[in-house]
Amino acid sequence: MSYDLAFIGHMCIDRIVPFQGDTQEAPGSAVLCGAMAAARTGREIAAVSKISPDDDWMLQPMRDAGADTFLIPAEETTFMEVIHPTADVDVRQMFQRSNAGRIHADEVPDIDARHAHFAGVTDQEFDVPLMAAVKARGWTVSTDMQSFVRQVDRKTREIDFADVPNKREIVALMDKLKLDIVEARLLTGEDDIAAAAEKIAGWGCDEVVITEGEGVLARVAGRTTYERFSNRSIVGRTGRGDTTFAAYLCRRFDHDVAESLRFAAALVSLKMETPGPFRGTLDDVLRRMAEAH
């Protein structure tokens, strides 16, 4: 089996504590949000996740969406708690209550894929040797810088957002890169996402995608493109960036940057109007593109 796109990272249980409303607990992670969105675009998708074998059931939604799943066994599954202390959904306190452990190169299954996306939720999942080994298989690679910016305190388990000492090495290894506005500002010192994207591209990655509350920007080959979201609510805000980039990667295989951003913005806008991962169809996305993008 040959895959267009393989997502690699932890699956986890997410406990979401909103500013107002009921606490919710459900399977989550960048892998889940990304793989489910990607599979529904019609691409051949693999999801490689490190979790406890007892929690294999957590992979079923990705299988139901059409992705093939590969479990790397861990002693325990990652458990995340996200607390929204204010009405601003971009302000979050995060804790990693348990951790499945780092993924090593020899644990990644011997599958054939065009592109691998390292979709982590904290700095406890990947390192440069792993990503370099996967790229050496002949795949193109990308990562989300949240996988390195989100750093877990060993004592309190609280996740702090901090600069990444080897950020230039990570960026230079990537064929594509994903960040959000908070991560971009932290890594570059730039408040403007276009300026941040330009600086990051200068570290050696020619295709940089940055999300913010209003939309998504891509800087590719020195040119900047921006697309606004069209969502009518934010009840499905969690997983916005993961879903945006997954949709962008899928469309980017055979479309230009502007078209890929329009597609990604339409898909994630639909996702944000409903809690949980994207469960719509390709026709739903194309309809939203025609209506609002």
Confirm if 194 and 217 have CB atoms less than 8 A apart: yes
What single DSSP character describes residue 158?
B
pLDDT for residue 219:
98
Summarize pLDDT for 52-61 with one digit per residue, the tens. Answer: 999 999 999 9
Summarize pLDDT for 208-259 with one digit per residue, the tens. Answer: 999 999 999 999 999 999 999 999 998 888 889 999 999 999 999 999 999 9
In 3D space, the residue among 218, 240, 238, 220 whose CA is nearest the CA of residue 229 turns out to be 240
d(Cα 43, Cα 280) in Å, to the nearest integer? 14
Read off the tokens for 137.
Answer: 């298989």
In the chain, the N- to C-terminal Cα span, in Å, equals: 34
């025609």: which residue's tokens? 290
Between 205 and 154, residue with greater pLDDT? 205
Q: Spell out where the chain has E strands.
A: 2-10, 12-17, 24-28, 45-51, 68-73, 78-83, 93-98, 112-118, 140-144, 150-152, 159-161, 176-180, 207-211, 215-220, 223-228
pLDDT for residue 14:
87
Summarize pLDDT for 149-164 with one digit per residue, the tens. Answer: 999 998 999 999 999 9
Read off the tokens for 148.
Answer: 């390195």
In 3D space, the residue among 134, 113, 137 whose CA is nearest the CA of residue 253 turns out to be 113
H or E segment at 70? strand 68-73
Summarize pLDDT for 70-97 with one digit per residue, the tens. Answer: 999 999 999 999 898 898 876 878 899 9
Summarize pLDDT for 89-118 with one digit per residue, the tens. Answer: 768 788 999 999 999 999 999 999 999 999
Longest dimension (CA), the chain: 50
Contacts of 246 (CB under 8 A, 6+ apart): 5, 7, 33, 34, 35, 37, 38, 117
Percent of the chain with pLDDT over 70: 100
Confirm if 225 and 258 have CB atoms less than 8 A apart: yes
pLDDT for residue 276:
86
Query: Which domains are assigned to the chain?
Result: 2-284 (3.40.1190.20)
To the nearest whole number, what is the mean pLDDT of the chain? 95
- Tell me what the mean pLDDT of segment 112-131 comes to: 97
Read off the tokens for 185.
Answer: 């500002």
